[in-house]
Structure 1
Amino acid sequence: MSPEARRDQLLTLGMEMIAQRPLEQVSIEAIAEAAGVSRALLFHYFESKQHFHIAIAQKQADDMLVCTAPDESLQDPLEILRSSLANFVDYISENSVAYQVFVRGAASADPAMREIFDRTRQVMASRVLDHGPAFGITVTPIVEVAVHGWMSFVEEVAIGWLTDPVMSRDELLGMITAALPAIIAASGAPVTT
């Protein structure tokens, strides 16, 4: 197996394990055993358990960004938003434990984990802000704050839905999609229609 393929295999195994348990419970020993390699080989690819966990978090962030990329073939900006959010809801449904670890890891004292979360969130915010003109919205610092606030809302509602689904997937999508234009409108953002 090439070094890149082996590294990917180890990360994939890590992702599979965090689908069932918190990241801090994913041990080097368990990964090495599942991969059929020694602990020493795993440390050849990752300096420490912390570096391995950071690599798993980065892989999860990358996967989520790929999955939620806006579908530019759609014409209506609300459909683009709804499509990205539908992909997001499907992703977190399939990766519930891992997503909750990722979001809750943002509050971690580990600056590297926080940086991954912040960078991922910034990419997602930029995607929304890049579509501001299609919504007829002039992007201002106030709109940027509103978008970041909406993202926090989406994260908390999504985690609540994962742990206690009191509404259907479609109801969740309807709420989080409709919340963005409402929050931007409440911000007093200038509309350029």
Structure 2
Amino acid sequence: MAKANGETKRIRLSPDERRQQLITLGVRLLGERALEEISVSDIAEQAGISRGLLFHYFPTMQDFQLAVVAHANAQLLHRVRPDDSLELFDQLRDSIERYIDYVSENRQSYLALLRGPASASPDLMQLVDQTRLAIVEMILAQMPIPAQDDDRPRLVLAVRGWIAFVEEITLSWLRAETITREQLVDLLVESLLTLSLALNPALGAALRA
């Protein structure tokens, strides 16, 4: 609501609402720039608060960065969650397509988080690794393999390796799109299918069915 003198009236928020507002602003800026390029001044100005008030909700800038990355990672996991209405192969392809779309929309932050100065932070990398493991578990949960199968540790290790492959290929593609998006999706899908067939022929056959 605007005041008579043209100034914008600040909206009073509860502590939880204000904290969530700051995180949301950080995630939005993360789509435009690297994490380390988001300043206290940027957040304070857009939230309509003083610089000092940010630290009332987050003791340090790193605490704020961790909260922003955790929220962004949750968004990524939501975007790539398999669609149970699809057949197994279509679930895989659909999730990979949505992964590529998400990182394309957040290109700068994705590149910076995995290869920029932020990648030197053990706390930030722990969040990233937790997200990788969540994706591994998400993939294995869709596969026709019992949770207590003796071969599961080997499959977990292999899929974690595939995630690293996906990240490296995607990072290279984001820097220079030498192939089309569809060709990239085909490459990532086929790589998992080939790996699955080598690990477990029955699993590979189920994915290709």
Relative to the length of structure 2, the TM-score reads: 0.82
Question: Once the 2 structures are TM-superposed, how far is the Cα of residue 30 of structure 1 from its aligned partner?
Answer: 1.7
Query: Which structure 1 residue ranges, 4+ long, deviate > 4 Å from structure 2?
Result: none
Question: Once the 2 structures are TM-superposed, how far is the Cα of residue 121 of structure 1 from its aligned partner?
Answer: 0.6
Which residue, out of 175, 182, 187, partners 1:170? Answer: 182
Question: Once the 2 structures are TM-superposed, how far is the Cα of residue 3 of structure 1 from its aligned partner?
Answer: 2.1
Identity %: 37
1:50 equivalenced with 2:51 (yes/no) = no
Distance 1:17 1:42, change over 3 A: same
1:3 equivalenced with 2:15 (yes/no) = yes
Give the gaps of 5 or more residues in structure 2. Answer: 1-12
Which residue, out of 103, 127, 131, partners 2:142? Answer: 131
Count of residue pairs brought into register by the alignment = 188
1:61 maps to what in 2?
A: 73
Question: Once the 2 structures are TM-superposed, how far is the Cα of residue 173 of structure 1 from its aligned partner?
Answer: 0.8
2:172 maps to what in 1?
A: 160
Question: Once the 2 structures are TM-superposed, how far is the Cα of residue 101 of structure 1 from its aligned partner?
Answer: 2.6
Distance 2:159 2:55 in 1: 40
Distance 2:91 2:190 in 1: 13
Distance 2:118 2:55 in 1: 27
1:28 equivalenced with 2:3 (yes/no) = no
Distance 1:90 1:109 in 2: 26
Q: Does the 8 Å CA contact 2:113/2:119 hold for their aligned counterparts?
A: no
Q: Which amino acid letter does the alignment assign opposite residue 72 of structure 1?
A: D
**In terms of mean alpha carbon deviation, does 93-102 or 115-124 score higher?**
93-102
SS in 2 for 1:21: coil
Larger radius of gyration: 2
Question: Once the 2 structures are TM-superposed, how far is the Cα of residue 106 of structure 1 from its aligned partner?
Answer: 9.9
Give the gaps of 5 or more residues in structure 1. Answer: none
1:14 equivalenced with 2:26 (yes/no) = yes
Distance 2:80 2:143 in 1: 17
2:155 maps to what in 1?
A: 143
Question: Once the 2 structures are TM-superposed, how far is the Cα of residue 17 of structure 1 from its aligned partner?
Answer: 2.2
Distance 1:166 1:34 in 2: 37
Which residue, out of 87, 90, 94, partners 1:83? Answer: 94
Distance 1:148 1:107, change over 3 A: farther
Q: Does the 8 Å CA contact 1:15/1:98 hold for their aligned counterparts?
A: no
Please, what is the CA RMSD of the aligned residues? 2.1
Q: Which amino acid letter does the alignment assign opposite residue 184 of structure 2?
A: L
Distance 1:56 1:128, change over 3 A: same
Q: Does the 8 Å CA contact 1:22/1:98 hold for their aligned counterparts?
A: yes
Q: Does the 8 Å CA contact 1:61/1:117 hold for their aligned counterparts?
A: yes
Distance 1:184 1:99 in 2: 27
1:108 maps to what in 2?
A: 119
Question: Once the 2 structures are TM-superposed, how far is the Cα of residue 78 of structure 1 from its aligned partner?
Answer: 0.9
SS in 2 for 1:179: helix
Question: Once the 2 structures are TM-superposed, how far is the Cα of residue 184 of structure 1 from its aligned partner?
Answer: 2.2
Question: Once the 2 structures are TM-superposed, how far is the Cα of residue 125 of structure 1 from its aligned partner?
Answer: 0.2
Q: Does the 8 Å CA contact 2:32/2:106 hold for their aligned counterparts?
A: no
